[in-house]
A = this chain, B = another copy of it.
Amino acid sequence: MSILINASALPNIPWEPRPKTDRGSSPLWRYSGNPVIPRDLTAHSNSIFNSAVVPFKGGFAGVFRCDDTSRRMNIHAGTSANGINWSIENNPIDFIKCRDDQPDSEYKYDPRVVFVDDKWYVIWCNGYKGPCIGLGYTDDFKKFYMMENVTMPFNRNGVLFPRKINGRYAMLTRPSDSGHTPFGDIIYSESPDLEFWGRHRHVMSPAHFSQSAWQCTKVGAGPAPIETSEGWLLFYHGVLTSCNGFVYSFGAALLDLDKPWQVIARSRPYMIAPQESYELCGDVPNVAFPCAALADGATGRLAIYYGCADTVTSLAFGMVDEVADFITRNAL
């Protein structure tokens, strides 16, 4: 049975039991109050989605992708007492550059937040001559510092691991192209210092469409990997290409704790696919895209935040042991 490792108790994790009517085909279920963050929560937001939430000082803090009504993409800080009702800043985070000569950012989107060593690191898709992976940190969710970009363009879906592995920082990314990339594998990279990166290793490719079509066009890491007794639990999104465009769903994989580029098992079925109206309709129809997960070390409860239709943010719940078990029993 899978047990969370290095996970504190989080008694106030957002939670709701599985509905009685649920047929049980997935280890996850949706929150009945979805979406939890509406598109117009801030003064000028067009949409709030693909956002990162962490426990912070007894409540919750987060970094949120807010596209404004010019459809400019940026990331904003926010806080919540219960993880469900949020207060998000009207203005984007105003990062302080660690060094003066760092390049500017044309846009920022799809942040993840993870605590490593002693800081909250924010990692996002950063606009510098194309999408690449930006990195920054904060101690208080008020002052944010921006470090060097951790990759060249073209890259998206960068995710840090919550601790060093084999003495080095570790990261997953998804190399891309300059547009709506129709391919995408997950790659693992290491760094001694979070600035210089190497030892790139391939982690996973899309599946064959006859085996698992929801993830047959591209795959990308979702929330930061969660350490369990069975391996790193990685929720990841997959994309199917219908005649009417991309469909984003998500499932999960277990990665080797010491060699995270080795996939122990990976779910053939999706866990959440766009089926509710707030997932089917919006700025980009048919998108369910996870960027953050809370875990309660005491109970194994998981609360996953995922963007819906590139418009709003929702919550799904599950138990870590059931998720891990599902992956193993339904491995690709």
Contacts and interface: CB of A to CB of B under 8 A. Distances in A.
A132 B72 contact: no
Nearest to A281: B280
Nearest to A270: B69
A21 to B, nearest CB: 10
A68 interface: yes
A227 interface: no
Given A43-B25, A197-B196, A242-B310, A70 B214 contact: yes
A283 B283 contact: no
Contacts of A280: 281-282, 285
**How many copies of this chain?**
6
Given A71-B213, A196-B197, A269-B70, A246 B244 contact: yes
Interface string A184-226: 0101011111011111111001000111111010000000000
Interface residues of A, number: 84
Interface string A240-266: 111111110000000000000000000
Nearest to A330: B70
Interface in A264-290: 268-270, 273, 275, 277, 280-286
Interface stretch (A50-58, A80-88, A123-131): A123-131
Interface stretch (A12-20, A113-121, A170-178): A170-178
A46 B202 contact: no
A152 interface: yes
B286 A46 contact: no
Contacts of A231: none
A39 interface: yes
Interface stretch (A143-151, A295-303, A313-321): A143-151
A287 to B, nearest CB: 8
A59 to B, nearest CB: 25
A70 B212 contact: yes
A177 B180 contact: no
B243 A246 contact: yes
Given A152-B175, A192-B196, A286-B244, A103 B201 contact: yes
A153 interface: yes
Contacts of A196: 190-193, 196-199
B210 A284 contact: no
A44 interface: yes
Contact of A283 (B150, B247, B277): B247
A193 B106 CA distance: 30
A218 B12 CA distance: 48
A128 B151 CA distance: 17
A25 B39 contact: no
19 contacts: A23-B40, A25-B44, A39-B275, A71-B209, A71-B240, A72-B212, A107-B210, A127-B210, A129-B187, A129-B202, A130-B175, A148-B198, A152-B189, A178-B183, A191-B198, A195-B198, A196-B197, A196-B198, A247-B283
Given A244-B246, A244-B286, 14 more contacts: A23-B40, A69-B269, A70-B212, A70-B214, A72-B211, A72-B213, A130-B175, A149-B200, A154-B154, A178-B183, A192-B196, A196-B197, A242-B245, A243-B246
